[in-house]
Structure 1
Amino acid sequence: MSDDRNAEGPGGGADEPLDAVDLALLDDLSRILGTIDPVPEGLVDRALFALTLEGLNAEVMALHRQEPALAVRGEPTRVEMRTITFSSDPLTVMISLSEGPTGVRIDGWTAPAERYVVQVYGPDGFVSTESDDDGCFVFPDVAPGPASLVLRRAAGGPVVSTPVLGL
Protein backbone atom coordinates (compact mmCIF):
# COMPACT_ATOMS: atom_id res chain seq x y z
CA MET A 1 0.00 0.00 0.00
CA SER A 2 1.48 3.36 -0.94
CA ASP A 3 1.05 6.81 0.58
CA ASP A 4 0.31 9.41 -2.13
CA ARG A 5 0.55 12.45 0.16
CA ASN A 6 4.21 13.05 -0.64
CA ALA A 7 4.13 11.74 -4.19
CA GLU A 8 5.84 13.96 -6.72
CA GLY A 9 3.69 15.20 -9.57
CA PRO A 10 2.31 18.47 -10.93
CA GLY A 11 2.67 20.99 -8.14
CA GLY A 12 5.20 18.89 -6.19
CA GLY A 13 4.69 17.19 -2.86
CA ALA A 14 2.84 18.45 0.18
CA ASP A 15 6.04 19.75 1.76
CA GLU A 16 7.23 21.56 -1.38
CA PRO A 17 6.92 25.35 -1.79
CA LEU A 18 4.18 26.69 -4.07
CA ASP A 19 5.12 26.78 -7.74
CA ALA A 20 3.56 28.38 -10.85
CA VAL A 21 0.99 25.57 -11.22
CA ASP A 22 -0.14 26.01 -7.60
CA LEU A 23 -0.39 29.78 -7.96
CA ALA A 24 -2.40 29.49 -11.19
CA LEU A 25 -4.79 27.06 -9.52
CA LEU A 26 -5.21 29.40 -6.54
CA ASP A 27 -5.85 32.35 -8.88
CA ASP A 28 -8.55 30.34 -10.70
CA LEU A 29 -10.14 29.32 -7.41
CA SER A 30 -10.11 32.94 -6.18
CA ARG A 31 -11.73 34.16 -9.42
CA ILE A 32 -14.44 31.45 -9.28
CA LEU A 33 -15.26 32.10 -5.61
CA GLY A 34 -15.24 35.86 -6.19
CA THR A 35 -17.87 35.35 -8.89
CA ILE A 36 -20.19 32.90 -7.14
CA ASP A 37 -19.73 34.05 -3.53
CA PRO A 38 -18.13 37.51 -3.35
CA VAL A 39 -16.91 39.04 -0.08
CA PRO A 40 -19.73 41.23 1.31
CA GLU A 41 -19.13 44.97 1.00
CA GLY A 42 -17.49 46.38 4.13
CA LEU A 43 -16.63 42.96 5.61
CA VAL A 44 -12.88 43.52 5.50
CA ASP A 45 -13.21 46.91 7.23
CA ARG A 46 -15.51 45.46 9.91
CA ALA A 47 -13.15 42.54 10.51
CA LEU A 48 -10.11 44.82 10.85
CA PHE A 49 -12.11 47.05 13.21
CA ALA A 50 -13.05 44.06 15.38
CA LEU A 51 -9.43 42.88 15.43
CA THR A 52 -8.27 46.36 16.48
CA LEU A 53 -10.69 46.32 19.41
CA GLU A 54 -9.67 42.78 20.34
CA GLY A 55 -6.05 43.88 20.28
CA LEU A 56 -6.78 46.48 22.94
CA ASN A 57 -7.43 43.60 25.33
CA ALA A 58 -9.97 45.74 27.17
CA GLU A 59 -12.73 44.66 29.49
CA VAL A 60 -16.01 44.98 27.61
CA MET A 61 -18.75 46.88 29.40
CA ALA A 62 -22.39 45.73 29.57
CA LEU A 63 -24.92 47.64 27.44
CA HIS A 64 -28.12 49.11 28.90
CA ARG A 65 -30.21 50.72 26.16
CA GLN A 66 -32.92 53.24 26.99
CA GLU A 67 -35.54 53.74 24.32
CA PRO A 68 -37.20 57.14 23.85
CA ALA A 69 -40.15 57.54 26.23
CA LEU A 70 -42.58 58.96 23.64
CA ALA A 71 -42.06 56.38 20.89
CA VAL A 72 -45.30 54.55 20.05
CA ARG A 73 -45.26 51.09 18.53
CA GLY A 74 -46.17 51.11 14.85
CA GLU A 75 -45.70 54.84 14.37
CA PRO A 76 -42.70 55.98 12.33
CA THR A 77 -40.66 58.28 14.56
CA ARG A 78 -37.47 60.19 14.10
CA VAL A 79 -35.36 59.78 17.19
CA GLU A 80 -33.54 63.04 17.78
CA MET A 81 -31.43 61.64 20.59
CA ARG A 82 -30.58 58.19 21.99
CA THR A 83 -29.24 57.59 25.46
CA ILE A 84 -27.21 54.48 26.15
CA THR A 85 -25.63 53.38 29.43
CA PHE A 86 -22.70 50.98 29.77
CA SER A 87 -21.53 49.50 33.04
CA SER A 88 -18.46 47.65 34.26
CA ASP A 89 -17.18 47.32 37.78
CA PRO A 90 -16.40 50.05 38.92
CA LEU A 91 -17.24 52.35 35.96
CA THR A 92 -20.55 53.43 34.42
CA VAL A 93 -20.67 55.49 31.24
CA MET A 94 -23.77 57.17 29.87
CA ILE A 95 -23.74 58.60 26.36
CA SER A 96 -26.30 60.59 24.41
CA LEU A 97 -26.19 60.36 20.62
CA SER A 98 -27.64 63.19 18.57
CA GLU A 99 -27.24 64.68 15.14
CA GLY A 100 -23.90 66.43 14.56
CA PRO A 101 -22.88 68.78 11.73
CA THR A 102 -22.05 65.92 9.34
CA GLY A 103 -22.30 62.84 11.56
CA VAL A 104 -23.15 62.00 15.15
CA ARG A 105 -22.57 64.09 18.28
CA ILE A 106 -21.64 62.09 21.40
CA ASP A 107 -22.09 63.65 24.84
CA GLY A 108 -20.88 61.42 27.66
CA TRP A 109 -20.54 61.18 31.42
CA THR A 110 -18.55 58.80 33.61
CA ALA A 111 -19.43 57.69 37.12
CA PRO A 112 -17.60 57.96 39.36
CA ALA A 113 -16.57 61.34 38.01
CA GLU A 114 -12.90 61.25 37.07
CA ARG A 115 -10.64 62.28 34.25
CA TYR A 116 -10.57 59.68 31.45
CA VAL A 117 -8.95 59.51 28.04
CA VAL A 118 -11.90 58.59 25.82
CA GLN A 119 -11.50 57.24 22.29
CA VAL A 120 -14.11 56.35 19.68
CA TYR A 121 -12.87 53.56 17.42
CA GLY A 122 -14.48 53.11 14.01
CA PRO A 123 -13.56 51.42 10.74
CA ASP A 124 -11.55 54.49 9.66
CA GLY A 125 -9.49 54.79 12.86
CA PHE A 126 -10.19 56.62 16.09
CA VAL A 127 -10.74 60.07 17.58
CA SER A 128 -9.75 60.96 21.12
CA THR A 129 -10.69 63.43 23.84
CA GLU A 130 -10.35 63.72 27.60
CA SER A 131 -13.16 64.06 30.10
CA ASP A 132 -13.14 66.90 32.59
CA ASP A 133 -12.95 66.50 36.40
CA ASP A 134 -16.72 65.87 36.45
CA GLY A 135 -16.36 62.98 34.00
CA CYS A 136 -18.01 64.88 31.10
CA PHE A 137 -16.77 64.49 27.52
CA VAL A 138 -17.96 65.47 24.04
CA PHE A 139 -17.27 64.32 20.50
CA PRO A 140 -19.01 67.01 18.41
CA ASP A 141 -18.97 65.16 15.07
CA VAL A 142 -18.15 61.46 14.65
CA ALA A 143 -18.62 59.57 11.38
CA PRO A 144 -21.72 57.35 11.41
CA GLY A 145 -21.21 53.58 11.37
CA PRO A 146 -20.00 50.87 13.75
CA ALA A 147 -18.04 52.24 16.69
CA SER A 148 -16.82 51.40 20.17
CA LEU A 149 -15.76 53.69 23.00
CA VAL A 150 -12.55 52.89 24.86
CA LEU A 151 -11.88 54.56 28.21
CA ARG A 152 -8.62 54.76 30.16
CA ARG A 153 -8.20 56.55 33.47
CA ALA A 154 -5.99 59.58 32.90
CA ALA A 155 -4.10 58.56 36.05
CA GLY A 156 -3.65 55.00 34.73
CA GLY A 157 -5.47 51.76 35.39
CA PRO A 158 -7.46 49.18 33.47
CA VAL A 159 -8.90 49.86 30.03
CA VAL A 160 -12.62 49.35 29.37
CA SER A 161 -14.45 49.19 26.07
CA THR A 162 -18.08 49.35 25.09
CA PRO A 163 -19.56 46.77 22.74
CA VAL A 164 -19.68 47.83 19.09
CA LEU A 165 -22.72 50.00 18.44
CA GLY A 166 -24.14 51.67 15.37
CA LEU A 167 -23.81 55.45 15.32
Structure 2
Amino acid sequence: MSKDKSPFQDDIFLRGARLRARQNADARELRHEAGLAESEAFFQALVAAVAVIAHADGRLELAERRKLVEAFIASSAVKGFSVTDLAHELAEHSRAYGYDPHTAEQRALACLSVSLLSGEQRQSIRQVCHQVITADGLVHPVELGALHRVERALGIAGGAQ
Protein backbone atom coordinates (compact mmCIF):
# COMPACT_ATOMS: atom_id res chain seq x y z
CA MET A 1 0.00 0.00 0.00
CA SER A 2 1.40 3.40 -0.95
CA LYS A 3 1.38 6.55 1.16
CA ASP A 4 -0.99 8.33 -1.25
CA LYS A 5 -3.75 5.79 -1.06
CA SER A 6 -6.10 5.66 1.91
CA PRO A 7 -7.06 2.16 3.07
CA PHE A 8 -10.71 3.32 3.04
CA GLN A 9 -10.68 4.76 -0.49
CA ASP A 10 -11.94 1.52 -2.02
CA ASP A 11 -14.56 0.94 0.67
CA ILE A 12 -17.87 1.09 -1.21
CA PHE A 13 -19.83 1.99 1.94
CA LEU A 14 -17.69 5.07 2.62
CA ARG A 15 -17.82 6.12 -1.04
CA GLY A 16 -21.63 5.93 -0.85
CA ALA A 17 -21.68 8.11 2.26
CA ARG A 18 -19.40 10.66 0.58
CA LEU A 19 -21.59 10.65 -2.52
CA ARG A 20 -24.76 11.19 -0.44
CA ALA A 21 -23.09 14.01 1.48
CA ARG A 22 -22.05 15.67 -1.77
CA GLN A 23 -25.60 15.28 -3.19
CA ASN A 24 -27.09 16.78 -0.03
CA ALA A 25 -24.70 19.73 -0.27
CA ASP A 26 -25.61 20.21 -3.94
CA ALA A 27 -29.33 20.12 -3.08
CA ARG A 28 -28.85 22.75 -0.34
CA GLU A 29 -26.95 24.95 -2.78
CA LEU A 30 -29.71 24.63 -5.39
CA ARG A 31 -32.39 25.57 -2.83
CA HIS A 32 -30.27 28.55 -1.77
CA GLU A 33 -29.85 29.68 -5.39
CA ALA A 34 -33.60 29.30 -6.00
CA GLY A 35 -34.32 31.38 -2.90
CA LEU A 36 -31.98 34.12 -4.12
CA ALA A 37 -33.62 34.13 -7.55
CA GLU A 38 -37.05 34.46 -5.92
CA SER A 39 -35.79 37.31 -3.73
CA GLU A 40 -34.27 39.03 -6.76
CA ALA A 41 -37.57 38.83 -8.68
CA PHE A 42 -39.51 40.21 -5.71
CA PHE A 43 -36.95 42.96 -5.12
CA GLN A 44 -36.99 44.09 -8.76
CA ALA A 45 -40.79 44.02 -8.91
CA LEU A 46 -41.15 45.92 -5.64
CA VAL A 47 -38.85 48.71 -6.77
CA ALA A 48 -40.47 48.90 -10.22
CA ALA A 49 -43.98 49.12 -8.73
CA VAL A 50 -42.99 51.80 -6.24
CA ALA A 51 -41.23 53.76 -8.99
CA VAL A 52 -44.44 53.81 -11.04
CA ILE A 53 -46.44 55.01 -8.04
CA ALA A 54 -43.91 57.53 -6.77
CA HIS A 55 -43.21 59.13 -10.14
CA ALA A 56 -46.88 59.37 -11.11
CA ASP A 57 -47.18 62.76 -9.42
CA GLY A 58 -43.78 63.99 -10.56
CA ARG A 59 -41.04 62.67 -8.31
CA LEU A 60 -40.22 60.42 -5.37
CA GLU A 61 -40.90 62.47 -2.23
CA LEU A 62 -38.85 62.00 0.94
CA ALA A 63 -41.89 60.67 2.86
CA GLU A 64 -42.52 58.14 0.09
CA ARG A 65 -38.89 57.06 0.15
CA ARG A 66 -39.00 56.60 3.92
CA LYS A 67 -42.16 54.51 3.72
CA LEU A 68 -40.55 52.31 1.08
CA VAL A 69 -37.43 51.80 3.21
CA GLU A 70 -39.59 50.89 6.22
CA ALA A 71 -41.52 48.33 4.18
CA PHE A 72 -38.29 47.03 2.68
CA ILE A 73 -36.69 46.49 6.09
CA ALA A 74 -39.83 44.80 7.44
CA SER A 75 -40.08 42.39 4.51
CA SER A 76 -38.46 38.98 4.82
CA ALA A 77 -38.94 38.40 1.09
CA VAL A 78 -36.00 40.61 0.15
CA LYS A 79 -33.37 38.73 2.11
CA GLY A 80 -29.91 39.18 0.70
CA PHE A 81 -30.49 42.81 -0.31
CA SER A 82 -29.52 45.91 1.60
CA VAL A 83 -30.92 49.43 1.81
CA THR A 84 -27.93 50.43 -0.34
CA ASP A 85 -29.12 48.03 -3.05
CA LEU A 86 -32.55 49.61 -2.77
CA ALA A 87 -31.08 53.09 -3.12
CA HIS A 88 -29.15 52.07 -6.24
CA GLU A 89 -32.26 50.59 -7.86
CA LEU A 90 -34.33 53.66 -7.01
CA ALA A 91 -31.62 55.88 -8.48
CA GLU A 92 -31.71 53.86 -11.71
CA HIS A 93 -35.47 54.29 -11.96
CA SER A 94 -35.22 58.00 -11.11
CA ARG A 95 -32.68 58.52 -13.90
CA ALA A 96 -34.91 56.67 -16.34
CA TYR A 97 -37.92 58.77 -15.31
CA GLY A 98 -35.79 61.90 -15.68
CA TYR A 99 -34.95 61.04 -19.29
CA ASP A 100 -38.31 59.76 -20.50
CA PRO A 101 -41.12 59.20 -17.99
CA HIS A 102 -43.41 57.35 -20.41
CA THR A 103 -40.74 54.84 -21.46
CA ALA A 104 -39.56 54.41 -17.87
CA GLU A 105 -43.09 53.59 -16.73
CA GLN A 106 -43.61 51.15 -19.60
CA ARG A 107 -40.34 49.42 -18.71
CA ALA A 108 -41.30 49.20 -15.03
CA LEU A 109 -44.75 47.81 -15.85
CA ALA A 110 -43.20 45.28 -18.23
CA CYS A 111 -40.90 44.17 -15.40
CA LEU A 112 -43.97 43.58 -13.25
CA SER A 113 -45.81 41.71 -16.01
CA VAL A 114 -43.05 39.17 -16.57
CA SER A 115 -42.05 38.66 -12.94
CA LEU A 116 -42.67 35.22 -11.47
CA LEU A 117 -44.22 36.06 -8.12
CA SER A 118 -46.57 34.26 -5.79
CA GLY A 119 -49.98 35.69 -5.02
CA GLU A 120 -48.76 36.62 -1.57
CA GLN A 121 -45.80 38.53 -3.01
CA ARG A 122 -48.07 40.36 -5.46
CA GLN A 123 -50.39 41.40 -2.62
CA SER A 124 -47.38 42.48 -0.57
CA ILE A 125 -46.19 44.73 -3.41
CA ARG A 126 -49.70 46.17 -3.72
CA GLN A 127 -49.75 46.88 0.03
CA VAL A 128 -46.40 48.69 -0.13
CA CYS A 129 -47.73 50.75 -3.05
CA HIS A 130 -50.73 51.78 -0.90
CA GLN A 131 -48.35 52.81 1.89
CA VAL A 132 -46.26 54.89 -0.52
CA ILE A 133 -49.39 56.59 -1.93
CA THR A 134 -50.52 57.69 1.53
CA ALA A 135 -47.03 58.46 2.85
CA ASP A 136 -47.06 62.16 1.95
CA GLY A 137 -50.58 62.67 3.34
CA LEU A 138 -52.08 63.41 -0.09
CA VAL A 139 -53.66 60.92 -2.43
CA HIS A 140 -53.41 62.26 -5.96
CA PRO A 141 -55.76 60.88 -8.62
CA VAL A 142 -52.74 60.21 -10.84
CA GLU A 143 -51.31 57.98 -8.09
CA LEU A 144 -54.54 55.99 -8.01
CA GLY A 145 -54.31 55.60 -11.78
CA ALA A 146 -50.73 54.42 -11.40
CA LEU A 147 -51.84 51.93 -8.74
CA HIS A 148 -54.42 50.57 -11.15
CA ARG A 149 -51.74 50.13 -13.84
CA VAL A 150 -49.48 48.36 -11.32
CA GLU A 151 -52.31 46.06 -10.28
CA ARG A 152 -53.05 45.20 -13.91
CA ALA A 153 -49.37 44.50 -14.57
CA LEU A 154 -49.21 42.27 -11.47
CA GLY A 155 -52.34 40.45 -12.57
CA ILE A 156 -54.45 41.53 -9.61
CA ALA A 157 -57.52 43.72 -9.90
CA GLY A 158 -58.66 45.94 -7.06
CA GLY A 159 -57.37 43.63 -4.34
CA ALA A 160 -58.65 40.34 -5.78
CA GLN A 161 -56.35 37.67 -7.11
Note whether the superposition's TM-score is higher than 0.5: no
Q: Which has the higher contact order (CA 8 A, sep 6+)?
A: 2
Query: TM-score normalized by structure 1?
Result: 0.26
* Structure with the higher strand share, 1 or 2: 1
More helix by share: 2
